[in-house]
Amino acid sequence: MTQIFSPSEAALSVLTLAKRQPQFVMRFAMLYAGMTAIYLAVMTATGVGEAMTRFAAVSQPGMSPSPAQIEEILMPVMPGFGLVALLSLVLSTFLTTMALRKVVDDVEVGFWGLQLGNLEGRYLVASIGYGLILFATAIVVSIVSTILISIHPALTILGFLTGAVLIGWVALRLSQFGVLAAVTGTMGLKQSFNQTQGRTWHYLGAYVLWAVIAIIVGMIGQGLATVGASALGARIGSGIPQSMADFLTAGWLFYILVYGMVTGFLTLGFTCIGAYAWHQSQGTIAPPKSADF
């Protein structure tokens, strides 16, 4: 595996997928919007939306909430945050593996591409492993930084920058575990480290380029969704409905649909980067219906 890919072509590969397979991209975006609706419904039902509104009120410019206020407002809704985190891990696994099957092998199985199979299990376990590795790396960085600060305060910035680079490097080197899990039938973490060898800057360039595009498009999409929701009488505020009654209004449902679909498309773009890079590294042609990789 010696071939190098173009970061700009990889970053924009989702556009080719959208051109060749618009129905799949639309389904993915709609499912992502549905997942967003589930998140917001759970957060609303558990009081997170109301708590975030209260927290925003005491965090205005010139105001600083006290530790007691933060505990009073946020601690009661921590179970809601935890439940959403668990749902995010599980539901995103189904959507990501759906995308991986399509962009890697041009396969659609199950209901709308969703399936409970071996790939889902491997990806879920690998995702947890990925998170634990990054957490362990952050702990090591924190310990080293503490030691550097104890030696001399001037080393604080050096420790911070070195730690940030190290965490970013590890995250990038292991970031292809999803694609490699689909290709090799393994967890993909070790294979990702090998796949990114000698291509770190190319992956970084592709992800940074698409991230910049995603931020701009995401802001535009959120702005349009907010304007549309406001026209329908909804007040978006913190981005989480304060009550289920608010959640079920036309304005909030419009906001969730539009912003969720935009976010889904942008998320799909990151998956396409990995698939494009894999096909290029192998010197192979991607499935004919998926994208011109």
Q: For residue range 216-269, what is the model confidence (pLDDT) as tens digits? A: 999 999 999 999 999 998 888 767 888 889 899 999 999 999 999 999 999 999
Side chain identity at 204, as an amino acid letter? Answer: L
Q: Is the pLDDT of residue 100 over 50?
A: yes
| Confidence at 175, pLDDT banded by 50, 70, 90 | very high
Q: What is the pLDDT at residue 49?
A: 76
Q: What is the pLDDT at residue 180?
A: 93
Residues with Cβ < 8 Å from 50, sequence gap 6 or more? 242, 243
Q: What is the pLDDT at residue 48?
A: 81
Q: What is the pLDDT at residue 284?
A: 66
**110 φψ region: left (φ > 0), alpha (ψ -120 to 50), beta (else):** left
**178 φψ region: left (φ > 0), alpha (ψ -120 to 50), beta (else):** alpha
Q: What is the pLDDT at residue 293?
A: 41
Torsion 150-151-154-158 (CA) sign? negative
| Structure letter (DSSP) for residue 153 | G
Q: 176 vs 5, 108, 186, 203, CA distance in Å?
A: 15, 21, 12, 10
What's phi and psi for 34, nearest 5 deg?
-65, -40
Q: Is the pLDDT of residue 1 over 60?
A: no
Residues 5 and 7: their CA atoms lie apart, in Å, by: 6
Q: Is the pLDDT of residue 286 over 70?
A: no
State pLDDT tens for residues 133-154: 999 999 998 888 888 778 877 7
Residues 50 and 34: their CA atoms lie apart, in Å, by: 22
State pLDDT tens for residues 50-86: 787 778 777 777 677 778 878 888 888 888 888 888 9
What is the mean predicted confidence (pLDDT) over 195-205? Answer: 91
Q: Which two tokens stand for residue 100?
A: 């991986």
The domain ranges of the chain are: 7-282
End-to-end C-alpha distance for the chain, whole angstroms: 16
